[in-house]
Amino acid sequence: MSFYAYLLRCNDGSYYAGHTDDLEHRLSQHQLGTLGGYTAKRLPVSLVWSEDFGSREDAFWVEQQIKGWSRAKKEALIAGDWDLISQLAQNRTASGTGCAGPSTGSG
């Protein structure tokens, strides 16, 4: 069984990270607003990135990691620009802000 971490772009331009074991069903739930919460107030949403993992724990870990990322780093992930992701990670560590705060979803 596969598990997925995913990133959605909301109608207001913000991003939402999540994880699931059924990506198509979860996307449908987000699009219909049946999950409530953050995305239900920002419809429509579109899938901009996803990756499959062998365990729920791995997918959840990646979701939590992405939630702590800056908007620039999320956009580098969407573009598949691993060099920029690495550069942004180094810049954050060098500036002394390596500890992630709460994610607002728009970050």
pLDDT digit string, tens, across residues 15-38 = 999 999 999 999 999 999 999 999
∠ at Cα 49 (47, 53), nearest 5°?
A: 115
- Reported as a pLDDT band with limits 50, 70 and 90, residue 11 is very high
Q: Which domains does the chain have, with CATH numbers?
A: 3-68 (3.40.1440.10), 70-99 (no CATH)
Contact 39, 8 (CB under 8 A): yes
Predicted confidence (pLDDT) per residue in 51-98, tens digit: 999 999 999 999 999 999 999 999 999 999 999 999 998 887 665 554
Amino acid at 9: R
pLDDT at position 106 over 50: no
The residue with tokens 């728009």 is 106
Residue 74 token pair: 């999320």
Alpha helices in the chain (DSSP H): 23-32, 37-40, 56-67, 71-79, 82-94
Residue 84 token pair: 């920029």
The verdict on whether omega for the bond into residue 44 sits within 30 degrees of 0, i.e. cis, is yes
Q: What average pLDDT score do residues 39-45 get? A: 97
Q: What is the structure's pLDDT at 89?
A: 87
pLDDT at position 102 over 50: no
- Reported as a pLDDT band with limits 50, 70 and 90, residue 104 is very low
